[in-house]
């Protein structure tokens, strides 16, 4: 039996499930400062980008761009940030983050900055509903092209 | 006449030219703490990943992976970090960084951390020579596959 993909428990603890795309599991960072998505390819033992095939890298880019369109449509950010670091949790995960001139860390990188304020429950529900609806819309748009 | 690609002067000031790949201009950050490459697609007014075509994104990924192979071969890092932020300089540039357990910022992100120590001239020359030789080798390897 081949090993099954399992989300790292530290990534799971800081985030909430949004949706699943063809390659990636998509989660929302529970950090109210900025809309912050994590894309985790459902591949076992994936640490570095270069371990993906050319085709999988293309799919990852498609899903990053789809996520960027979702964040642009919902939040009109000043800038989008993307990154895959993995120094603490080495399960490959790509950050896709909407940044604003008045956010906690602007214009610096937002990783490892504090204080992290969690979403109140009702606000989290609203975020998830908006994100899921926008992912569906963007997927429909993409399918039409 | 269509506008010509010009490197942002702030990116130019912090970095030194390494080589040119099909899509990207490659530069070395003048920061002795870690081997740190910048890949800048030679496209005018490029700010965000989603502005690239699917084909260009594929090429960017190929060149990021090539750069990762170069850093792995030369420096055997603990982890590779990649990221495109652009909050300060919005000309699109992708960071490809070799990280080590004893580097200045480990395990945090290295952006905006200090103090930055520049390469002494002879060490910079050696770095550039090693990087250019390894890029050539990796390109040959890739062409053979």
Using an 8 Å Cβ cutoff, are B44 and B3 in contact? yes
pLDDT tens across B105-123, in order?
A: 999 999 999 999 999 999 9
Contacts of B99 in chain A (CB under 8 A): 87
pLDDT-above-90 percentage for chain A: 97
Q: Which fold has domain B9-101+117-144?
A: HIT family, subunit A (3.30.428)
Distance CA A130, CA A104 (A): 23
Residues, chain B: 145
Dihedral of alpha carbons B47, B78, A41, A93, sign: negative
What is the percent of chain A with per-residue pLDDT over 70, rounded to a whole number? 99
Provide, as residue numbers in chain B, all residues whose Cβ is less than 8 Å from the Cβ of A50: 65, 68-69, 72, 80
- Please, are residues A32 and A117 in contact by the beta-carbon 8 Å criterion? yes
Q: How far apart are CA B98 and CA B89, in angstroms?
A: 22
The pTM of the full predicted model, rounded to 2 decimals, is 0.97
In angstroms, the CA A17 to CA A27 distance is 4
CA distances from A74 to A14, A68, A70 (A): 22, 10, 6
Look at residue A124 in the predicted model and tell me its pLDDT. 98
| Structure confidence by residue, pLDDT tens digits, A12-35 | 999 999 999 999 999 999 999 999
Q: Model ipTM?
A: 0.96
CATH class of residue range A9-144: alpha beta
Q: How far apart are CA B59 and CA A85, in angstroms?
A: 21
**Residue A78 carries which DSSP code?**
S
Residue A108 has pLDDT above 90, yes or no: yes
Q: Which residues of A touch B49 (CB under 8 A)?
A: 61, 64-65, 68, 80, 82
The share of chain B scoring above pLDDT 90, in percent, equals 96
Per-residue model confidence (pLDDT) at position B65: 98
Count CB-CB contacts under 10 A for residue A10: 11
Tokens found for residue B70: 């170069």
- DSSP state string for chain B: -PPPP---HHHHHHEEEEEE-SSEEEEEES-TTS-EEEEEE--TT--SGGGS-HHHHHHHHHHHHHHHHHHHHHH--SEEEEEE--SS--S--EEEEEE-TTSTTTTS--TT-S---PPPHHHHHHHHHHHHHHHHHHHHHHHH-
* Partner-chain residue, chosen from A84, A88, A111, that has the shortest CB–CB distance to B82: A84
The mean pLDDT value for A89-114 works out to: 97
DSSP string, A11-31: HHHHEEEEEE-SSEEEEEES-
For the segment B33-57, the average pLDDT, to the nearest whole number, is 98
A50, pLDDT greater than 70: yes
As a whole number of angstroms, the distance between CA A138 and CA A77 comes to 17
DSSP classification of residue A48: S
Give the per-residue pLDDT at B3: 86
> pLDDT of B32-43, one tens digit each?
999 999 999 999
Position A3 scores a pLDDT of 85
Question: Nearest C-alpha of chain B: how many angstroms from A65?
Answer: 5
A98: which residues sit within 8 A by CB, 6+ positions away?
Answer: A34, A35, A36, A71, A72, A75, A77, A80
- Å between A60 CA and nearest CA of chain B: 10
Q: Under an 8 A CB cutoff, do A68 and B50 touch?
A: yes
Q: What is the pLDDT of residue A1?
A: 63
A 10 A CB-CB count for B84 gives: 20
Best residue in B10, B47, B54, B61 for a mutation probing chain A (most A CBs within 10 Å):
B61
Interface contact B61, partner A, CB < 8 A: yes
- At residue B145, the pLDDT reads 78
pLDDT in tens, B59-77: 999 999 999 999 999 999 9
Report the pLDDT averaged over residues B14-18.
98
**In the structure encoding, which two tokens stand for residue B73, read together?**
């071969």
A positions 84-143 inside 8 Å of B (CB): 84-88, 90, 99, 106-109, 111-112
**pLDDT of A5 above 90:** yes
- As a whole number of angstroms, the distance between CA A9 and CA A85 comes to 17
| pLDDT for the residue numbered B1 | 63
């Amino acid at each position: 039996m081949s090993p099954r993909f399992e989300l790292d428990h530290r990534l799971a603890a800081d985030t909430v499930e949004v949706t699943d795309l063809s390659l990636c599991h998509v989660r929302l960072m529970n950090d109210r400062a900025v809309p912050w998505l994590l894309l985790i390819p459902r591949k076992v033992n994936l640490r570095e980008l270069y371990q993906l095939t050319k085709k999988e890298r293309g799919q990852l880019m498609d899903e990053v761009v789809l996520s960027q369109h979702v964040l642009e449509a919902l939040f009109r950010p000043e800038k989008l940030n993307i990154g895959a670091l993995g120094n603490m949790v080495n399960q490959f995960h790509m950050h896709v983050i909407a940044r604003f001139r008045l956010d906690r860390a602007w214009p610096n990188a937002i990783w490892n900055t504090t204080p992290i304020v969690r979403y109140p429950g009702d606000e989290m529900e609203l975020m998830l509903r908006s994100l899921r609806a926008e992912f569906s819309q963007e997927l429909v748009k993409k399918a039409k092209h």
